[in-house]
Homo-oligomer: A and B are copies of this chain.
């Protein structure tokens, strides 16, 4: 009580725990906003952020309490994060509860996201574009030919993207990618 009041009464260096809490909140909010802009739901991004900056694995209940969300919501999104491979569930011996920890290596994180987005979105998109190209190959007329050409160009570009992403996935071993990226600097 006294400490709290003291903080309000005189200006001075903010105590570390309070300051940290504040900055952490800001980070969670930013990460969530970023996620939203890239098609990831708010809660999932928030949980991910929370686990990224936690120095120990957290239980579902801790996540619920921290983010003020329901059990169902926490469970679903933790499950999804595990599905993405961005979060691992860890068991503590002697405890039945499940704990969760995020992959902390930023480069690995990036590789995982690239792998999953390739698998879930790029590869199917490529099939679709190839199909669109194939099905219009033999059609005649200016419209059809223009359409076909566009499909070819898009497919070619997505194929290149796909290949680049595939290389990035394997980057842990081959280290070609970090090298190429440095080259772009």
State the A residues within 8 Å of B (CB). Answer: 16-17, 19-20, 23-24, 26-27, 30, 34, 36-39, 52-53, 55, 104, 106-107, 110, 120-121, 125, 128-129, 131-132, 135-136, 139-144, 146-147, 150-151, 153-154, 156-157, 160, 163-164, 167, 176-177, 180-181, 183-185
Pick the residue among B38, B151, B181 that contacts A160 (CB under 8 A): B181
Check B19 against A53 for contact (C-beta < 8 Å): no
Pick the residue among B39, B139, B157, B167 that contacts A36 (CB under 8 A): B39
Check B38 against A125 for contact (C-beta < 8 Å): no
Check B140 against A16 for contact (C-beta < 8 Å): yes
Main secondary structure, interface of A, reads helix
Check A167 against B180 for contact (C-beta < 8 Å): no
Bound complex: CA A7 to CA B99 (Å): 61
